[in-house]
Structure 1
């Protein structure tokens, strides 16, 4: 586990949140289109390829939804790997790593919170990174 991987934790979480929001939007739109298709079935069937366009749009939305779902699953797997590595650290080191990379606290905030000097916090941080490798 590298420092860069720990830094990615926050952004992976943010990307998951955005993707989940987008997924909800897609599902809402697909539901709306499907409902319109059902309500106007007779009119759409009379216009030839209009139903194909609507059906193709819904099918495309489902493909995007499936791809996004897979991306979210992969992201959650990365987060689980990072969480497991942090949990395996001693309590103090895990607390510091979680404070810095997950809660995004400043070094000063962590030092005050943990009741250590700024220099001690950096020493503990270096030890934690070493233990993660």
Structure 2
């Protein structure tokens, strides 16, 4: 796995979590709209068909579990990324990579924070990735 692919794992997982949180919001809104018609409910000892409300609640619980697992994975991945970044000698490389891959900042924000032009940030970013690859810093995680 190339350095950039390894570092981007956190960005993609973060976006996946955001997507799942959006799904969760929609399911919770649906759950609030779903009503149970008690006149159709039968009292019996066996397990009958499930209600629409029950189906939605089961999906909500499952999705919350997925989100929690993804968040745990994201924390682990960001820790690993931080370990790799800290091995770089150039502090500007460290700062650019941390802001981009751990804090999920866009290039313009990074350039502004570092008081540099966007082309300079791109150039330094490329050099940082090359250093990671030359020093084989991601081999532990491949």
Matches within 5 A, 1:78-117: 78-88=73-83, 89-90=85-86, 91-101=91-101, 102-105=104-107, 109=111, 112=116
Structure in which a larger fraction of residues adopt helix = 1
Instruction: Specify whether residues 92 and 85 from structure 1 end up closer, same or farther in structure 2 by C-alpha distance, changes over 3 A only.
Output: farther
Question: Which blocks of at least 5 consecutive residues in structure 1 are unaligned?
Answer: none
Q: Distance in 2 between matches of 1:61 and 1:117?
A: 47
* TM-score (normalised: structure 2): 0.60
Secondary structure of residue in 1 paired with 2:107: coil
Report if aligned partners of 1:93, 1:124 keep a CA contact under 8 Å in 2. Answer: yes
Q: Distance in 2 between matches of 1:76 and 1:15?
A: 10
Report if aligned partners of 2:97, 2:125 keep a CA contact under 8 Å in 1. Answer: no
Instruction: Specify whether residues 3 and 74 from structure 1 end up closer, same or farther in structure 2 by C-alpha distance, changes over 3 A only.
Output: farther
Q: Distance in 2 between matches of 1:94 and 1:75?
A: 25
Q: Distance in 1 between matches of 2:121 and 2:64?
A: 44
Secondary structure of residue in 2 paired with 1:131: coil
1:71 to 47, 58, 66: 66
| 1:126 aligned residue | 130
Q: Distance in 1 between matches of 2:125 and 2:138?
A: 16
**Structure 1 runs (4+) greater than 6 angstroms displaced:** none
Q: Distance in 2 between matches of 1:7 and 1:21?
A: 21
**How many residue pairs are counted as aligned between the two chains?**
122
* TM-score (normalised: structure 1): 0.63
RMSD after superposition: 3.7
Q: Distance in 1 between matches of 2:58 and 2:27?
A: 11
Q: Distance in 1 between matches of 2:77 and 2:120?
A: 25
Q: Distance in 1 between matches of 2:120 and 2:98?
A: 16
